[in-house]
Amino acid sequence: MSSSYKGGCDHVHVSANAEPIDNHVCHCNVCKGVTGQQTTHVAFFNYGDLSVDHPEKMNRQPFNKDNPDGPLELCTCAECGAALMLDDKQKRIRVAVPNVMGYNDSSFPEATYHAFYDGSKDYAKPSDGRPVYEGLRPEFVWPEPA
Ligand SMILES: [Zn+2]
Ligand SMILES: [Zn+2]
C-alpha cells in the first residue's frame, strides 16, 4: 500500500493515506517563528489519517511557546531535530507543514485560503484571489476527537 503523502526525516517517517481536511496559507506568528517563513502552507488531516512509524523517537514541545498549555505540540526528531508534525493533544487533527516537514510540497493540494491574516501587519493583504480570513475559514469544523 502506498501513501498519498510521505514526510519526515531519515529516522521518523510520517505518512497519510487520506486527503487533508483543510489546506491554508497561514499568516500566524507561531508558524512564522517555527518555519522562518512569512507565510506557511499548512495542511490539516483528521487525527487518524496521519501516522508515524517511530513515535518513540519524537520530542514534543508546545507549538506556541507563549501558550504552553495549548492543544498543539510540535513533534521533532530526537536524533536530527527535524520538524515532523504538529500533534493535537485533544486528538482531533494532525498537521503537516509540507515544505518544512520533508514532504514533496507540490504533491499537496494548493491552499484554498489565507488564514490568520492580521491587518496590522506590515505587509500587503494577499491579493491572489483566495479568501483572506483572520482565523481559519469560518466553515471549518474541528473533527471529533479520535
Ligand atoms: Zn500558523
Ligand atoms: Zn531524524
Distance from residue 43's CA to the centre of ligand 2 (Å): 21
Distance from residue 13's CA to the centre of ligand 2 (Å): 9
pLDDT score at 73: 96
The ligand placed nearest to the CA atom of residue 82 is: 2
pLDDT score at 121: 77
Question: What is the pTM for the complete model shown?
Answer: 0.94
Distance from residue 1's CA to the centre of ligand 1 (Å): 32
Q: Which long-range contacts (CB under 8 A, 24 or more apart) does 140-146 make?
A: 140/22, 142/92, 142/93, 143/21, 143/46, 143/47, 143/92, 143/93, 144/92, 145/47, 145/90, 145/91, 145/92, 146/46, 146/47, 146/48, 146/91, 146/92
Percent of the chain with pLDDT over 70: 98
Residue 95 has pLDDT above 90, yes or no: yes
In whole angstroms, give the CA distance from residue 12 to residue 130: 34
Quote the radius of gyration of the chain (alpha carbons, Å).
Answer: 15
Q: For the chain, what is the mean pLDDT? A: 94
Distance from residue 60's CA to the centre of ligand 2 (Å): 14
Phi, psi torsion values for 69, nearest 5 degrees: -95, 5
Distance from residue 137's CA to the centre of ligand 2 (Å): 33
Q: What is the largest CA-CA distance in the chain?
A: 47
pLDDT score at 64: 92
Cα distances from 58 to residues 3, 30, 49, 126, 144, in angstroms, run: 21, 20, 18, 35, 25
Distance from residue 143's CA to the centre of ligand 1 (Å): 18
The ligand placed nearest to the CA atom of residue 76 is: 2
Spatial contact of 111 and 25, defined as CB atoms under 8 Å apart: yes
The ligand placed nearest to the CA atom of residue 118 is: 1
pLDDT, tens only, 108-133: 999 999 999 998 878 889 999 999 99
Closest CA to 39 of 101, 116, 107, 106: 116
pLDDT score at 1: 46
The ligand placed nearest to the CA atom of residue 27 is: 1
Mean pLDDT of all residues in 69-75? 95
Distance from residue 105's CA to the centre of ligand 2 (Å): 19
Mean pLDDT of all residues in 12-17? 96
In whole angstroms, give the CA distance from residue 72 to residue 89: 6
Mean pLDDT of all residues in 88-115? 95
Beta bridge partners of 42: 24
For 5-115, the fitting CATH number among 3.90.1590.10, 3.30.1330.10, 3.40.50.300, 3.30.70.270 is 3.90.1590.10
pLDDT score at 146: 85
Please report, for the chain, the start and end positions of each structural domain, with discontinuous segments joined by +.
5-115
Distance from residue 28's CA to the centre of ligand 1 (Å): 4
Percent of the chain with pLDDT over 90: 85
pLDDT, tens only, 28-69: 999 998 899 999 999 999 999 999 999 999 999 999 989 999
